[in-house]
Chains A and B, each alone.
Chain A
Amino acid sequence: MISQLFILSSKGDHLIYKDFRGEAGNDVINVFYEKVTALPGDQPPVVMSHRDLHFVHVRQGGLYWVATTTSAGSSPFTIIDFLNRLAALVTDYCGSLSEKSVQMNFALIYELLDEVVDYGYIQTTSSDVLKNFIQTEAVSSRPFSLFDLSNVGLFGAETQQSKVAPSSAATRPIQSSRDQGVFVDVIERLSVIIGSNGAVMKADVEGEIKVKCYMLNCSEMRIGLNEEFSIGRSTLRGYGAAVHVDECRFHQAVKLDEFDDHRILKLCPSQGEQTVMQYQLSDNLPSPPPFRLFPTIERDNRGRLLIYMKLRCDLPPKSAAINVSVSVPVPKGCVSLSQELSSPEQRCELKPQSRSLVWTVPRCSGGTQLSAVFKLDVPGLSSASMLEVGPVGLTFELPKLTSTGLQIRFLRLTPVQPGPSQRWVRYVTHSDSYIIRV
């Protein structure tokens, strides 16, 4: 049971405060803020207690979303999940999530909270149900402009403007439905560990299909996945490169009667964003991992540490990785860095506080190979400090690509929408845990 709920800005300003059960005063807000800002880094911040009160919080959009509870039986899991959902709901209703948008829409958020939680019992977080009750109109923080094309390429189209939706199209309140449209995202999170001998020790993909819908009169949406899509270890179907995942979970609004035979997800999309399907795959990636690294570490005769790195991108030739960032731990006491990089748009920086050097490559096409040499001045370099180099961590994004090979064959809306179709599909794989041991 949630006792109080409040939203704080990152500076600790009170944005929203609602007390559901009258069990504690609003002075606990400051207690929470003190606690959370004083927390040492290694302490789990998830649950904190103050006298009889337990704080559960998440951070979303730079804000603290905090719920308090006094009862031992309440589940932090439920509360965290709920807070995340609430943040999503506020995003849906206000268009975007920021201190400003929360401030501007406080009346709307109070109204939402009233419907979403009653006496600490969570009632519903479905925007379909809620739209019957909500009266207040959202105030959009950014005027909607069709010419806002700052993020071209985001939706996977080439350069023709007609094929690209403005980036703000997907960040507007669901209530203002002048422009209709459906956005489908297939997002995969890749985590890989490659051993020092080059063997892939672990490769996991967590993926999800998200639908963001602004359609008013859409009764049914059919999403067709690859027909050779298979779930579980034993149910491989068809020939050739089957798309395969280990486990799959669906939103409860998804009807699966055509799924077994035709791999079609049927749902009546509610307005706003929802995760339609989540899936995961471990260890059996259909393609080789996107990056290989060949490092050599040695000392030169002037006592400097030399790191040669060859980074090979094993993606298909037409694809590319963007925002690649390679972070290499360096020995303690490293004072300066000089480098030789293969192209001018690459950067390299030494970060003493995290004891690492960070090599950033804005774009790296499939089949190419990049090399770099880093020279580090480490006073008192010993053979033991050579061991402090490694493991190398990569973060990157692969637009227009799914590592499982999952594709959306078609996206059909019933009834058929008149006018120009507004259906957008994008694929992206990103990785923030791609470890190559050296």
Chain B
Amino acid sequence: MQEWANQLCENRQFGSKMTDSKYFTTTKKGEIFELKAELNSDKKEKKKEAVKKVIASMTVGKDVSALFPDVVNCMQTDNLELKKLVYLYLMNYAKSQPDMAIMAVNTFVKDCEDPNPLIRALAVRTMGCIRVDKITEYLCEPLRKCLKDEDPYVRKTAAVCVAKLHDINAQLVEDQGFLDTLKDLISDSNPMVVANAVAALSEIAESHPNSNLMDLNPQTMNKLLTALNECTEWGQIFILDCLANYTPRDDRESQSICERVTPRLSHANSAVVLSAVKVLMKFMEMLPKDLDYYGTLLKKLAPPLVTLLSAEPELQYVALRNINLIVQRRPEILKHEMKVFFVKYNDPIYVKLEKLDIMIRLASQANIAQVLAELKEYATEVDVDFVRKAVRAIGRCAIKVEQSAERCVSTLLDLIQTKVNYVVQEAIVVIKDIFRKYPNKYESVIATLCENLDSLDEPEARAAMIWIVGEYAERIDNADELLESFLEGFHDESTQVQLQLRTAIVKLFLKKPTETQELVQQVLSLATQDSDNPDLRDRGYIYWRLLSTDPVAAKEVVLAEKPLISEETDLIEPTLLEELICHIGTLASVYHKPPSAFVEGRGQHKRLPGSGGSAESESPDAVSAGAANEVAAVIPSQGDLLGDLLNLDLTPPATTGPPPHSGGMQLGAMDLLGGGLDSLMGDESEPLGGDLGGSPAMGAGFGAAPAAMPPAFSAPVSGGLEDLFDLGGGVGMPLGSFCPPKTVWLPAMKAKGLEISGTFVRRAGVIQMEMTITNKAMSVMTGFAIQFNRNSFGLAPAGPIQVPSPLSPNQNIEVSLPLNTVGPVMKMEPLNNLQVAIKNNIDVFYFSCQYPISVLFVEDGKMERQVFLATWKDIANENESQFQIKDCHLNSDTASNKLQTSNIFTIAKRTVDGQDMLYQSMKLTNGIWVLAELKIQAGNPNYTVSLKCRAPEVSQCVFQSYEAVLKN
């Protein structure tokens, strides 16, 4: 800091004119005192200089709030420059000195009447930025006037001010009728005013999802489209973003809007272009595909998208992320523009990788030669990361375009000849994928691969090579020698190599049983006796058992024909894609995640409109929303790629991505034997990529095995198997969801004879408020009605309460009231408190009750395993809270099953030193995710549960639910 100050002193020497920089230099003590004197000086110039100094100190983070009264004194001036400086100060410090801020109010009110529109606007703008409650009441009258001001500059400032005020005090804005005035401003003659009104309304509407503040009808649309042509570029963005929320009535309206938006595509501001693209992409859905106009529109979209790529690298990156989405949705738009995605030498690496991704998506038979030539060049570049991805991309091309496979393989072989270590390793990994797509076609290259065995030092490449050797053991003469050489350092290998080596040797044994018996015994004993890894050990036991009991069955299981991998695994899941298309240009499109995944509490999912009447309308509803968090990249990272390698068991279970799944539990361990177990467990769901399904034959083969277990092994093995079956069993055993017993909410004494006891329960995805209503009065009761106060999660009755009238004395009835969560939200203390008003012919009664938060856990609260890991790491440690659950005597599987009935999903289980750790996730109705780690020690009735959540205030309630569910 001192150094900087010195430097600044030097700066003063430049130029004879006084410069602002000297204000930064006064850092000595007593400066506040000096400033005070200067602020109270009579000379205007001196005052101004003093205020500048104050603001300079403020900027570098010094506390100059002590000068508040002196600065406010300078406010009454006709010098606009000074006034602005004072206002700047006020905005910063008013909040910390609310009482003193009141002093400024008079001047504000006076300024709002000033003949100079600049001063009027300045006053309104600043008042809105002073976030002090007391001031807001004084703000209303001036604001009302300014909203109707004759000067558009004042009106547009006032429009924004309504949004500011709404943020501080929403109720006040509604009561004062500012919203209606704001709506009127949409028809204002000045486009800048319209744009600001639209922006303000859109933001206010967002906080009230159900109000129809922005009721977009054809008339308003027309107004907006007219204003669009006259606005500044930034105003156009507001309007276009607002247009994107409109749902046209039919394809003709859709077309006419598209026609009026299309000219924006040639705007010089690329943000305008991208917003226009968003609107067009959305409205295009409504157009019939055979329409001429549809084709014209497609053609018009390509050039602006291409132009976006000529911007700065930052903009290019954002553009590419968006183009990536567009290409997946409508590849036809850019199918002729492959060349623009060719990587430039000086592109930053993140732009290069993104371009590569798009190149593969656009690759087709027509352009594959060109793409391959490029990729081959990239593979010789300097940047290691980029080279690796380029090599992988060649593999993806082979899998995607069958005609090119041969050429891809020969390209890869060329690259292997370079002997550049990382290129070779990467090439081997992708060749393994190619083998899996086109089995028995390119085995001639195996010899070349084997030559490079020694240079492989990365686990993934080693594992891939071992897989190849095991899979084609019968064609490699010295397969046993090769595998044996790996076996020497078995304990130093990483888990994926160990797993792979074990499987490969078993395969080898089944193919050449005579000469490799020793080898297989060696590997299995290494795996079962000397290893601490339960995965390795248990699977080792299974193989051992299989081989020793029924080699024929073993052969059927281990050497069964594997399903081919498909190229479509790299696509973003369609529901997510649809949502992301609606968010083109926003942060969501850069992260490739729905907004709900990174902004908590935003449950609104946008959807594309269906195309009118055409049979092609997509219905991806079958996919559970839980999958929405799954984000795919064309070139999967190590975990992804391996995760979808069936029969490879390369990945430790914690990183295997189980397919999204609505009710069942899936653990990585289940893809154990070539995926056969999936079908064994009666699990019919086909995962998205379609590459995890199993063949029934394998299932049968395995099913026979446990029956004939030799007793010698039964103890350790059956433990492992029981685990497996327990987990599987959990899928098919629906238990009743947890329902706490009814408690008395409203005693008869307090409510003139009306007694209500009740509880909350979640049934089939609907929250029910179950009540027993008893009439303990002497006369009949009629006309029941119920209302909730605002509450933390927006609970509200989904319909009127159904009480048969009249309710005669001493009669009691059971009422079940379905609830929804779209009501107004206000934070309650405690969080799960609910205040209820119930009315009958006698009076209105109030009571409050607490609902178990578990009724808010939604059915799709099972988090993707990798997302879970990432989220767990991502949430700060201070958001973690730990609780003890005492006196609970369940084993971990029962506990997990029990919790699952209340939509607390177990994602993974780990056993360390006899302690079971369950990793669980749940999602609240408002989109907040809660992650949990439940530790259960055998024989210890006290469980520990650690909860992590971005909104840590829910943790206490969640814990209570855990306790209630487990002890129930």
Contact = CB atoms under 8 A, between A and B. Distances in A.
Given A1-B203, A135-B81, A80 B157 contact: no
Contacts of B17: 139-140
A22 B15 contact: no
Given A14-B60, A77-B585, A249 B268 contact: yes
A349 interface: no
Contacts of B306: 247, 280
A52 B61 contact: no
Interface in B328-363: 339-340, 342, 344-350, 353-354
A356 B11 CA distance: 40
Listed residue (B303, B319, B950) with the most chain A CB atoms within 10 angstroms of its CB:
B303
A354 B383 CA distance: 10
Interface string B175-205: 0000000000000000010001001100100
A82 B270 CA distance: 10
A13 B4 contact: yes
B380 A73 contact: no
A252 B238 CA distance: 17
Contacts of A42: 349-350, 353, 385
Contacts of A70: 599
Most central of B24, B234, B238 by chain A CB within 10 Å: B234
Contacts of B347: 433
Contacts of B322: 77
Interface stretch (A117-125, A235-243, A338-346, A362-370): A117-125
Interface string A23-62: 0001000000000000001111111010110100010000
A437 to B, nearest CB: 6
B20 interface: yes
B349 A41 contact: yes
A114 B84 contact: yes
Given A80-B314, A139-B19, A52 B600 contact: yes
A154 interface: no
A14 B59 contact: yes
B87 to A, nearest CB: 8
Interface in B413-428: 417-420
B321 to A, nearest CB: 9
Contact of A76 (B4, B95, B312, B590): B590
A45 B348 CA distance: 10
A142 B129 CA distance: 36
A78 to B, nearest CB: 4
B595 interface: yes
Given A75-B585, A107-B85, A49 B598 contact: yes
Contact of B587 (A74, A82, A110, A189): A74
Contact of B315 (A77, A143, A432): A77
Interface in A367-395: 382, 384, 387-388, 390-391, 393
A46 B59 contact: no
A255 interface: no
A171 interface: no
Nearest to A7: B59
A222 interface: no
A110 B586 contact: no
Interface stretch (A98-106, A291-299, A311-319): A98-106
Interface stretch (B159-167, B398-406, B618-626, B779-787): B159-167
Nearest to A196: B377
A75 B271 contact: yes
A180 interface: no
A407 interface: no
Contacts of B24: 103
A207 to B, nearest CB: 9
Interface in B550-606: 583, 585-588, 590-591, 595, 598-600, 602
Contact of B95 (A22, A44, A75): A22
A103 B591 contact: no
A107 B232 CA distance: 26
Contact of A437 (B52, B271, B377): B377
A19 B418 CA distance: 55
The CB with the most chain B CB atoms within 10 A, among A46, A82, A275, is that of: A46
B413 to A, nearest CB: 14
B392 interface: no
A282 to B, nearest CB: 7
A322 interface: no
B355 to A, nearest CB: 12
Interface string B112-147: 000000100000010011010000000000000000
Given A47-B587, A82-B234, A119-B164, A72 B599 contact: yes
B52 A393 contact: no
B520 interface: no
B88 interface: yes
B500 interface: no
A263 interface: no
A20 B346 CA distance: 37
B8 interface: yes
A73 B595 contact: yes
Residue in A129, A247, A248 whose Cβ sees the most chain B Cβ within 10 Å? A247
Given A13-B4, A16-B59, A106-B20, A58 B599 contact: no
A22 B131 contact: yes
Contacts of A308: none
Nearest to A276: B268
A251 interface: yes
Contact of B160 (A58, A72, A118): A118
A193 interface: yes
Given A250-B268, A387-B380, A118 B587 contact: no
B317 A46 contact: yes
A3 B583 CA distance: 20
B429 interface: no
A111 B84 CA distance: 7
Nearest to A382: B419
B863 interface: no
Given A106-B55, A249-B268, A280-B310, A74 B586 contact: yes
A79 B910 CA distance: 45
A71 interface: yes
A280 B337 CA distance: 14
Contacts of B156: 123
B345 A391 contact: yes
Interface string B255-280: 00000000000111111001100000
A329 interface: yes
B241 interface: yes
Contacts of A71: 599
A118 B157 contact: yes
A391 B20 contact: no
A184 to B, nearest CB: 17
A148 interface: no
A412 interface: no
A126 interface: yes
B21 interface: yes
Contacts of B344: 191, 433, 435
Given A21-B167, A202-B342, A433-B346, A72 B586 contact: yes
Interface string A138-173: 011111000000000000000000000000000000
A78 B15 contact: no
A70 B206 CA distance: 14
A1 to B, nearest CB: 7
Ranked nearest first, the 5 interchain pairs of A and B with the lowest CB-CB distance are A72-B595, A44-B350, A78-B271, A122-B234, A135-B81
Given A104-B21, A123-B156, A382-B419, 13 more contacts: A42-B350, A52-B599, A58-B314, A72-B587, A73-B206, A75-B274, A76-B586, A78-B237, A110-B55, A282-B340, A384-B418, A384-B419, A387-B418
28 contacts: A43-B350, A44-B348, A73-B583, A75-B271, A75-B585, A75-B586, A77-B270, A77-B318, A100-B21, A103-B20, A105-B20, A106-B23, A106-B56, A107-B52, A110-B88, A121-B160, A122-B237, A123-B232, A123-B234, A129-B232, A140-B15, A141-B15, A189-B310, A249-B307, A251-B268, A329-B381, A393-B345, A433-B347
